[in-house]
Structure 1
Amino acid sequence: MSSYLSLGLGLVQTMIVSRALGPELVGQMSLLRQVAVFGAQIGSFGLPMGIIYFINKRKLDRDTVIGSTLIATQLLSLLSSVIVALMLIYADFFGEVNIIIILSVIGFIFFSNSRTVFHSLNIADQDVKRMSLIDVLPTVLCVGILLFLYLYDLLNLNNILFLNIFIWPLIGLILALLIQKNRIKLTFSINVKYLKEAFSYGSQVNLSDFLVLINSSITLFILKYYTSDFTSVGYFSRAISVTTLINTAFISFLRLLYSHWAQLSGIELKKSVERIMNFLVLVSIVGCILIGLFGDWIVLILFGKEFLPATSLVQIIIFGATGFLISKSLLKLFISDGNVKYNLVCLLVGGISNIILSVILIKLYGVKGAGFAQLFSSILMGLTALYIAKSRYGISISRILIPNFSIKNIKNIIKR
């Protein structure tokens, strides 16, 4: 339920922001937000994701894991913040920036990484209620403030970024701290032995996550480079928002899969993957058909008539949405089993193909070329993930791709 509530709130937020800013400023905002996400990824070094692995799989002491991870991520976030701030100040690629934007980006790096450290405990425990609270409540508050400012015509790029990338993770961090304060004992000391293992594991996870970001956002940067136009970036950004609606709806569910599959092995793991993936593919296909048929109306209702040129991009990218969801889900399987190398293979295929195709197709066809690049790279990444799942885990591709319309199967998955 929290996934759908988050999806609904995200749609309301997107509607407000799109109407307040228009295509050009939405394009600039999208690039700045991606810079913040890249900065946070560099600052985390994959350490927060390792918390789930070391607690659930390796059964290490929670306090040691959390304390050491928190200190390490803060130091890394400081280094990342300096690099990102210098880039925003001296590069004109991102348009005009001011102190509010720079502070918002830096705040996101620190707050989101700290939030993820504590939130990982809820994911490790498969505590859906606490996960939902941390995901939903900050969004409710921020959307409420956005709506208030929009109604009084006070929204601009500065306060939108401040709310979405500074206040949102800060509220999430405060909630995560309050939830976990009686469940862990923070020790401000570093366990060197643990950190050596964590950095080894985290370096692979971080590379995986970095490649995920590249695959999902590099097209925006290449599009801006070739067109020198924030408006095209705005259209493409909103087209991606529409075509990833299904993935967004399952974001909390996918996080839970990581922890769930980490506790399974053998035949039990194989059957769980086939059953859950079959359900996800079925829902994704239905969703893609609906979005493909009503894409123009969806764009008009969500973003307004200024964004109608994004409809043609939606019609292109939507055909790769199922492939993207398949790869995103199976990556959770690989990483839950400690096989980060399989993640790297899938993401390298997706990332490299996306970069090459984006450079070639955007140069030839402009913003539509960006849509085709996203389509083909998503399909390639999905096929690669399926091949690895079949060859390394013995998972049946047909049991994933051929829809199972059993009401009992669907009810069991939803219940779990």
Structure 2
Amino acid sequence: MIEKKKTVNVLKTMSVLASVRVVTIISSLIKNKVISIFLGTEGVGLFGVLQNFQSLSSAFFGFGVSKSSVRDISFSKSSNNSNVEVSKMAKTAFYLTLLLSLVGNVIIILFSNELSELTFDSNKYSIYIKVMSLSIFFNILFNGQQAIIQGLREVKILAKSAALSAFIGVLVSVPLYFFFKLDGVTYAFICSSLISFLVSKRYSKKLNLTEVNLKLSEFVVNSKNMLVLGGSLMIVSVMVSLYGFVLKAYLVKVGGLEIVGVYQSGYQVLGGYFGLIFTSIALDYFPRISEVANDNIKINQEVDIQSKASLVLIAPLVVVIVFASDWIVQFLYSKEFLKTSSYLLYGSFGITFLPLGQILGMVFLAKNNTRIYLIMVFALQILFFVNSVVLYQCYDVKGLGMAFSLNMFLNMLFPWLINKKIYNIKLSKDLKRIMFQVLLFTTCSVLIVIYVEETLLKYVIGGVVFFTSLFYTIQEMKRSLDLSLLSFFKKK
């Protein structure tokens, strides 16, 4: 009964955050569509490179404080501290992110020529780098503000803030793409980051925090704790962002911005839009396993529940991605991006492994085993890059899709084997069965698309496979999660 209640809570949290994710996805779809129409593959490629530059810079100069402060604020609140102490911790997080964002802004401007040469193999884009420094400044502040809201476990406020930021951001960005063309991409980044920060700041006023005076000595002590853990998390974030940054820089050199645009669009569909299911992991699952970090049996139970809840929802979505890849690409982008369909086709296998890798990887953070986590992530990023380069050279865009699937498999395999060795945390037979069945749906769908040439027959079979996978999901929710889909929505 307790496990069923946990499962219901997991799915309800996922549904709330998924609703917000729908808004952000629609906003992203509109941006991508507008860029692809007005700016073409070059514009999408520039957007992808600058987006990764912003992500990498925010991770580096943010020093992981947006993640470590969540833990410190949550711990302070759960330790029955007074609201004054919790408020001081939140204020420390804000001032620290402000300081870090200022430092990052100055450094990026000073080294804009070198960064342009590194990113675009030319210093003529240095003005873009300088303009992006403002976007990174506000993005770090936004991440810090969201961390305060998340640390206080105010999921609804967090969700509303993210949804409104995305909505206003797209309203402002679209005219910029239209009037300023490629230059508008950088202007849109600045406006979106600024809007996101202002909206989150406004919503933070609804938090139950007390206005406090923070002494310098208190700021130093609190900041030190945040920076120690944040440093390790920052290294992880930088390594992940660096992989994407270096890979796109490589693709720019060998294929130009056009191939980066194709890669970016494919990765966005598989790695970005499937965040509809996985968004709740960091906000809901991580605090749960942190509470039972010293009990491996309970952690194993949480891993099993979260993994099953994620996987049973994947099957019909993967089938849709495989059979409707051409339609999806044209709807999200344009006919100019039809090469992306092969990326989606061969990358669809990775979707099954993606959530499991995240779920198992967070166990190391819950147990504060950052050393093992850092070594594992470092090794994985090197393998990811090698796989992507080798397979791209052999199979072009198909190879990038194959690399995504292979990389996501390794991203699941490494933490699975290490957790099993160190903590005796295993994947249950029931979970392995579900994973195999989802992969079976994926394999059948891919083979049908490749070998059935008659269009009408292909989509008739695809419809049968889709409804079979949908029926499977409903039945699996009842069998493995002891949850009726109808009763779940009635309870909501």
The TM-score with structure 2 as length reference comes to 0.75
After TM superposition, the structure 1 = structure 2 runs for residues 148-163 of structure 1, keeping only pairs within 5 Å, are: 153-154=178-179, 156-163=181-188
Contact persistence 2:329–2:340 (CA under 8 A): yes
CA distance in 2 between counterparts of 1:53 and 1:136 reads 24
Aligned to 2:179, what secondary structure does the other structure show? coil
1:16 aligns with 2:27: no
Cα deviation code 1:2-44 (max 9, x no counterpart): 1223223322222222222111221122112211111111111
Aligned to 1:234, what secondary structure does the other structure show? helix
CA distance in 1 between counterparts of 2:180 and 2:312 reads 39
After TM superposition, the structure 1 = structure 2 runs for residues 28-43 of structure 1, keeping only pairs within 5 Å, are: 28-43=46-61
Partner of 1:70: 94
CA distance in 1 between counterparts of 2:273 and 2:172 reads 26
CA distance in 2 between counterparts of 1:146 and 1:67 reads 31
1:132 aligns with 2:163: no
Tell me which of 40, 44, 50 is aligned to 1:26. Answer: 44
Aligned to 1:409, what secondary structure does the other structure show? coil
Tell me which of 404, 415, 427 is aligned to 1:396. Answer: 427
CA distance in 2 between counterparts of 1:215 and 1:113 reads 20
Tell me which of 258, 267, 274 is aligned to 2:286. Answer: 258
CA distance in 1 between counterparts of 2:379 and 2:353 reads 13
1:6 aligns with 2:77: no
After TM superposition, the structure 1 = structure 2 runs for residues 277-316 of structure 1, keeping only pairs within 5 Å, are: 277-316=307-346
After TM superposition, the structure 1 = structure 2 runs for residues 217-236 of structure 1, keeping only pairs within 5 Å, are: 217-227=245-255, 229-236=256-263
After TM superposition, the structure 1 = structure 2 runs for residues 72-111 of structure 1, keeping only pairs within 5 Å, are: 72-90=96-114, 91-92=116-117, 93-94=119-120, 96-97=124-125, 99=127, 101-111=128-138
Tell me which of 286, 302, 305 is aligned to 1:275. Answer: 305
Question: Compared with structure 1, are the counterparts of its residues 335 and 85 closer, same or farther at alpha carbon in structure 2 (3 Å cutoff)?
Answer: same
Cα deviation code 1:333-392 (max 9, x no counterpart): 432342333432442232010122234344444444433333322210111122234442
Count the aligned residue pairs.
411
- Partner AA of 1:11 in structure 2: L
CA distance in 2 between counterparts of 1:288 and 1:211 reads 28
Aligned to 2:338, what secondary structure does the other structure show? helix
Tell me by how many angstroms 1:184 deviates: 4.5
Partner of 1:48: 66
Contact persistence 2:104–2:137 (CA under 8 A): no
Question: Compared with structure 1, are the counterparts of its residues 389 and 4 closer, same or farther at alpha carbon in structure 2 (3 Å cutoff)?
Answer: farther
> Unaligned regions of 5+ residues in structure 2, if any?
1-18, 435-474
24-33 or 322-331: bigger deviation: 322-331
Cα deviation code 1:184-209 (max 9, x no counterpart): 53637353333333222111111122
Query: Which structure exhibits the higher relative contact order, with contacts defined as CA atoms closer than 8 Å and separated by 6 or more residues?
Result: 1
Contact persistence 1:358–1:369 (CA under 8 A): yes
Question: Compared with structure 1, are the counterparts of its residues 367 and 39 closer, same or farther at alpha carbon in structure 2 (3 Å cutoff)?
Answer: same
Tell me by how many angstroms 1:104 deviates: 4.0
Contact persistence 1:138–1:171 (CA under 8 A): yes
316-325 or 235-244: bigger deviation: 316-325
Tell me which of 322, 325, 347 is aligned to 2:352. Answer: 322
Partner of 1:352: 382
Question: Compared with structure 1, are the counterparts of its residues 285 and 207 closer, same or farther at alpha carbon in structure 2 (3 Å cutoff)?
Answer: farther
CA distance in 2 between counterparts of 1:25 and 1:13 reads 11
Tell me by how many angstroms 1:56 deviates: 2.5
> Unaligned regions of 5+ residues in structure 1, if any?
none
CA distance in 1 between counterparts of 2:204 and 2:257 reads 42
CA distance in 1 between counterparts of 2:316 and 2:194 reads 36
Contact persistence 2:306–2:359 (CA under 8 A): no
CA distance in 2 between counterparts of 1:325 and 1:217 reads 22
Cα deviation code 1:282-321 (max 9, x no counterpart): 2234322321222111111111101111211222222212
CA distance in 1 between counterparts of 2:103 and 2:72 reads 25
- Partner AA of 2:365 in structure 1: I
CA distance in 2 between counterparts of 1:149 and 1:168 reads 11
Q: Percent identity?
A: 19
Question: Compared with structure 1, are the counterparts of its residues 174 and 20 closer, same or farther at alpha carbon in structure 2 (3 Å cutoff)?
Answer: same
Question: Compared with structure 1, are the counterparts of its residues 340 and 354 closer, same or farther at alpha carbon in structure 2 (3 Å cutoff)?
Answer: same
Question: Compared with structure 1, are the counterparts of its residues 399 and 218 closer, same or farther at alpha carbon in structure 2 (3 Å cutoff)?
Answer: farther
CA distance in 2 between counterparts of 1:86 and 1:137 reads 34
Partner of 1:249: 276
Contact persistence 1:223–1:370 (CA under 8 A): no
CA distance in 2 between counterparts of 1:155 and 1:103 reads 17
Tell me by how many angstroms 1:410 deviates: 6.8
When the two chains are superposed, the root-mean-square deviation of aligned CA atoms in Å is: 2.9
- Partner AA of 1:63 in structure 2: S
Partner of 1:204: 232
The TM-score with structure 1 as length reference comes to 0.87
1:185 aligns with 2:211: yes
Aligned to 1:183, what secondary structure does the other structure show? coil
Tell me which of 341, 347, 362 is aligned to 1:332. Answer: 362
